[in-house]
Structure 1
Amino acid sequence: MTSLVTTAWLADHLDDPQVVLLDASFKLPGATPTAPEEFAERHIPTAQFFDVDKVADAGNPLPHMMPSEAEFARTVGALGISNETMVVIYDTPGLMSAGRAWWMFRSFGHRNLAILDGGLRTWMAEGRPVTAEVVARPAASYQARLDPAAIASKADVLANIDSKARDLVDARSAARFTAAEKEARPGLRAGHVPGSLNVPFDRMTDPETGKMRAPAEIAQVFRDAGLDMERPVIASCGSGVTACALAFGLHLAGKDDVAVYDGSWAEWGMPGDTPVATGQ
């Protein structure tokens, strides 16, 4: 089972009843048009929208935190997805938020799962069709079983500063990591978790096409940043979305001992006693 499918493969399987296509595009708060608005205007035929802001723990004040097993099962079942369904996920730029949906499915035990290489960007560049029509699928029964090892908490990250048991990799831009640029979310401090490494999420893809780099190239990107590919990893970012792009890149490179810090900088950067470093 491959974790990455081509646009040609998807075009051949759009009408396969065993394949469900999800658009998991996401934009930061305040960006317009919103991802749901863009989906309503045009998306790949048969796609349904997977809203990472809404498939979330509504009771948590942090943005789009992991939902409960029951809530995830209810949501994906309503999309016509069973545990046997082949799920293909894409986003608009190639790999920005598709990794978040992929990681959520993986964390809840789904393995028949892939990301569309190059996303909507490549699909449209090749002149393939898009539509505004949404075709609902019959609801399905879904069972979700969360793997707790997939998620790292603030307490885990705090403990790791001293233990250094895992490498912590931050997917934000270098300017945000070093605090040269302020955080977009109001009230957050700027900087990074002490001891963390910086691998901006867009390093996983070719900037010209949005397609994934080769697994060996991805592994080298992490090594160049100081990551030991033999050690377990915690991936972090601004709010738990692009960290999952790193998790997907590491997966393609053959590394799955990766947890995502779900709260990420939206939690760590709040005023308080969590330590913050600046500079490189």
Structure 2
Amino acid sequence: MGIVTTNDGVEIFYKDWGRGQPIVFSHGWPLSADDWDAQMLFFLGKGYRVIAHDRRGHGRSTQTDDHHDMDHYADDLAAVTAHLDLRDAIHVGHSTGGGEVVRYIARHGESRVAKAAIISAVPPLMVRTAANPGGLPKAVFDDFQAQLAANRSEFYRAVASGPFYNYNRPGTERSEAIIQNWWRQGMMGGAKAHYDGIVAFSQTDFTSDLKKIGVPVLVMHSEDDQIVPYADSGPLSAKLLKNGTLKTYKGFPHGMPTTQADIINVDLLTFIES
């Protein structure tokens, strides 16, 4: 593990394990690099070099009070890849991390990138607008911010024990350990970063970014995603990409890299090695 300092003085924590072709993981809101444990151990065992960082304001990175937006998220990722001089990298992003990966490739180019995968990801645009009538009302995200400001601990517990892992679905077996680990990661980060991050993941329009990307991209999304609804995300992103492939799952939750790691990991490996 290590630290890279960005141009604006933010310290970004990262893990860097193994040798071989690098796979770089970008986590979702409001979590940390720890959310990729199952993937990092799996791909490390397959001979890959695995890297994951804590987004600014999240996990063990600096709890700065500003610049919590997709451009800075992408620039921070670029700082990590440049610091480690990563080449021929595969980028994998979950949820907000999927937006980070898309913005990074579109903003910084493909010279270091071989392929990418976005899982349960926020692109093209989450919030409802005149041009995006299938999006969620802005009031949904305003309520997220209000709940975070009122009692972040209770809000995070409710998200993890309910819609994030589909634990509110009848017949779904809950894992208290998974719920507590989600809450732990969330509470490690800064409240201001997470508050502003809600705007970043919900209001950023990635349409033009997706159109710029030429490397192969696997878009993985579940039809039962309760956080980033399927119809207005995965299929639209796959269509906007020049070389996108949509992989649709039935009944999986938003947090499927954790609860369905055995399936997600194999599907990622198949894509990476194809």
TM-score range, shorter chain: 0.3 to 0.5
Which structure has more strand as a fraction of its residues? 2
Larger Rg: 1
Structure with bigger helix share is 2
What is the TM-score when the length of structure 1 is the normalising length? Answer: 0.35
| TM-score of the pair, normalised by structure 2 | 0.35
